[in-house]
Chains A and B, each alone.
Chain A
Amino acid sequence: MPASSPAASRPHRRVNWNNLTYSVGLPLLALGFALAVCAVILLLLGVNPFEAYAAMIAGAFGTISGITQSIAKATPLLLVGLGICIAFRASVINIGAEGQIILGALGATWFSLAFRPILPDALLVIGTLLAGFLAGAFWGFIPGVLKARFGVNEILSTVMLNVVATQILLAMLKGPLMDATGVTAGTFLPQSEELPEAVWLAKIVPQTLLHTGAILAVVLAFVVYIFLWRTTIGYRIRAVGLNPEASRYAGIRVPVYQALALTLAGGLAGLAGVVEVIGVQHRLLEGITSGYGFSGIVAALFGGLHPLGTIPASYLFGSLLVGADKMQRAMQVPSSLVDVLLGLVVLFVVGSQYYARRRAARRATRPTAAAPAAPVEEAVSA
């Protein structure tokens, strides 16, 4: 179970600095290790790691364009990551964000093109966002139902559905959604026509990539936080993840809440697809996901599977992605270095959770801990 730390429940909720240090410190330590391993790899390849990292930092944080780009990249990461938080909290491993992003992007493209002549601008934007959310949610609903009704492992079904979504995207871009100007010009580029300007998300900072989708994502992070920690449904989702057996005895229909978690995760990933389409690209392209479906998982894990923790984590990884691009241009070090880094961060973060769990278990068995037998209640650290 991801991040299930059966810590002792406390009678009063208060910030536990010791826990907070742990849940922030371990990921940072993991990042430090990952950076160190990458430095060794760079050294072996004859690249000065300090210069490479300096180029990354300068690229991501040194200029307005770097900072705004980082936030723009962090936006889909955050949206995907929020979905991952919900799914993983319910103990369902959603690997399907890539496909859900695609479906969201497809839904948004279709809606904005189809309803352009009919709807007023404001409704068109809202409808586009909604269409993308629903399409993504549908792509999360399928593995959800398959798991709830037929017991199909969601890791597997989401992986399969990623490929299916990619194929649907290709078929649509080469078929019904292909840009008509590309057909007449004979280029046959697999991309859609430009979306109506009415649905383009406004820029927060003019002349940059930073669009209002970033605000939407942060607002949604708070919504997801309130949903998970302040509503009955959210409480049940977390209960199901922490202890499915106990939840069942408490009368919670475990499969239903796991399916719901997957559906919501799909919807949020779908929104990531929408903001990429209407905020950045303004059309649907091949490779619209840019791997956000995977890096969003990294962001969520790094943020301790907490919606609010995922905000800074997404910004950090958005910056890394931007910084790696700039480093590639400045130093000819391939930007795939950042994938190596992301992969190692995942491995080290999930590996280090072992120590967090052990520590939690030690505390739970200590006589001072009040009620260690109630892991379902406020047991989640931070």
Chain B
Amino acid sequence: MSELLQPVVLIGILTGTIRFATPYLYASIGEMFAQRSGVVNLGVDGIMLMGAYTGFFIALQMPGDGGLWLGLLAAAIVGLLMGLLMSVISVTLKAEQGISGIGLFIFGLGLSSLLFRVTIGTVKTVEGFKPIPIPGLSQIPVLGEVFFTNSVVVYGAFLIVPIAWFVLERTTWGLKIKSVGQNPAAADSLGVSVNRVRYVCVCLGGALAGIAGASMSLSLVNLFQDNLTAGLGFIAVALVYFGGWRPMGILIGALLFSFINALQLFMQVTKVGISPDLANMLPYIITIVVLMFPINRARQPAALNKPFERGEN
């Protein structure tokens, strides 16, 4: 494992950690809003796939920066629409959220593959968002390269963490979201429209999941293929639990997962250490262990996974 300690390798792994954290962050922060309002959207992976496809398809038709931005926007809109579909089924029609989420996942998986094979067909690449070094900060040795020489999509992912915290903890909207997730009956009696708040949160989560997908196809790997996300969206859902429904906790979890991803990539290249397949399991097992601690469950929104029916309780 001595290769690990070489500075070049270390910088490579750290840079990878920051970049790979991007889709986790967008998707998890979005899912956090949905869950804080009481809705588990298990279909994040399907939304990400549709976002990744949509963004990539547009970028392929329109080379250049304009196409990339338009692709990102379209991915967010597609994500929002899928969030809307999830809301109708799970909020209005009060379906069991675990199952409707799986339905949304299968739908997104199938549709993104269908559209990809019909409209694109073969694996192509686009020139994704270019890294923009931040003047001054990017000159710092090591840190500059790791943190401050990334694409705008990566910066955005780290920016939404404090924004999400602010919205949740310092705005009326945040208070409404939390009250709807914690005690919908009380929120309802105070005139908060439980279902409207949930619709907004699930749609926001969908839009961010769409962006998460596009961040992969337009900034990280710059291509699209069948099942590009390979279950990453499910991890994003788990990260919300892992992070105790808090933006900072999610950030830590996302960095842990992306660190292991980066490490694994390195181990594949150099073929050192233990089997990468086994190393890959580690974050999932850690997540399960974290979920076993009571402190984590205490933080769970009380009305999570429970459709709201006026006059119950």
Residues of A at under 8 Å CB distance from B? 1-2, 41, 45, 93, 95, 146, 150-153, 155-157, 159-164, 167-168, 170-171, 174-175, 294-295, 297-298, 301, 333-334, 336-347, 350-354, 357
Contacts and interface: CB of A to CB of B under 8 A. Distances in A.
A368 B94 CA distance: 27
Contacts of A153: 241, 291
A294 B277 contact: no
A297 B102 contact: yes
Contacts of A174: 275, 277
Interface string B258-276: 0000000000000000010
B107 A350 contact: no
27 contacts: A152-B292, A155-B98, A159-B42, A159-B237, A159-B238, A160-B238, A163-B234, A167-B278, A167-B280, A168-B277, A171-B277, A175-B275, A295-B106, A297-B102, A334-B118, A339-B110, A339-B111, A343-B108, A346-B100, A346-B103, A347-B95, A347-B107, A350-B95, A351-B89, A351-B93, A352-B93, A353-B93
A353 B95 contact: yes
Contacts of A347: 85, 89, 95, 100, 103-104, 107
B205 to A, nearest CB: 16
Residue of A157, A161, A352 with most chain B CB atoms under a 10 A cut-off = A157
A350 B99 contact: yes
A114 B296 CA distance: 43
Contact of A298 (B106, B275, B292): B106
B1 interface: no
A80 to B, nearest CB: 13
B231 A163 contact: yes
B106 to A, nearest CB: 4
Contacts of A150: 291-292
A41 B111 contact: yes
A156 B278 CA distance: 20
Interface stretch (B55-63, B126-134, B209-217, B282-290): B282-290
A161 B238 CA distance: 12
A339 B238 contact: no
A246 B107 CA distance: 37
B281 A164 contact: yes
Say what secondary structure dominates the interface of chain B: helix
A146 B292 contact: yes
B284 A342 contact: no
A219 to B, nearest CB: 27
Contact of A294 (B95, B102, B118): B102
A354 B102 contact: no
Contacts of B234: 159, 162-163
Contacts of B65: none
Interface of B: 40, 42, 46, 85, 88-89, 93-96, 98-100, 102-111, 113-115, 117-119, 226, 231, 234-235, 237-238, 241, 275, 277-278, 280-281, 284-285, 287-288, 291-292, 294, 297
Given A297-B99, A351-B89, A343 B277 contact: no
A338 B110 contact: yes
A1 B103 CA distance: 16
B197 to A, nearest CB: 20
Nearest to A354: B93
Contacts of A357: 94
B288 A334 contact: no
A339 B109 contact: yes
Contacts of A294: 102, 105-106
Given A336-B109, A354-B93, 14 more contacts: A41-B111, A45-B118, A93-B96, A146-B288, A157-B291, A160-B287, A167-B281, A168-B281, A295-B106, A337-B114, A338-B110, A339-B110, A343-B109, A344-B107
Contacts of B292: 146, 150, 152
Nearest to B231: A163
A163 B281 contact: yes
Given A2-B99, A350-B103, A334 B117 contact: yes
Given A167-B277, A347-B100, A336 B106 contact: no
A6 B198 CA distance: 26
Contacts of A151: 294, 297
A348 B130 CA distance: 42
A353 B288 CA distance: 32
B293 to A, nearest CB: 8
Contacts of B280: 163, 167
B212 to A, nearest CB: 17
B110 A336 contact: yes
Contacts of A160: 238, 284-285, 287-288
Contacts of B113: 334, 336, 339
Contacts of A41: 111, 114
A45, A160, A301, A341, most chain B CB atoms within 10 A? A160
Contacts of B281: 163-164, 167-168
Contact of B98 (A95, A295, A354): A95
A1 B110 CA distance: 26
B110 A340 contact: yes
B295 to A, nearest CB: 12
A258 to B, nearest CB: 14
Contacts of A344: 103, 107
A161 B93 CA distance: 30
A346 B241 contact: no
Contacts of A156: 237-238, 241, 287, 291
A172 to B, nearest CB: 9
Given A340-B110, A343-B104, A152 B99 contact: no
Nearest to B278: A171
Question: Which of B114, B117, B241 counts the most chain A CB atoms within 10 A?
Answer: B114
Contacts of A167: 277-278, 280-281
A155 B100 contact: no
A77 to B, nearest CB: 14
Contacts of B277: 167-168, 170-171, 174
A174 B271 CA distance: 14
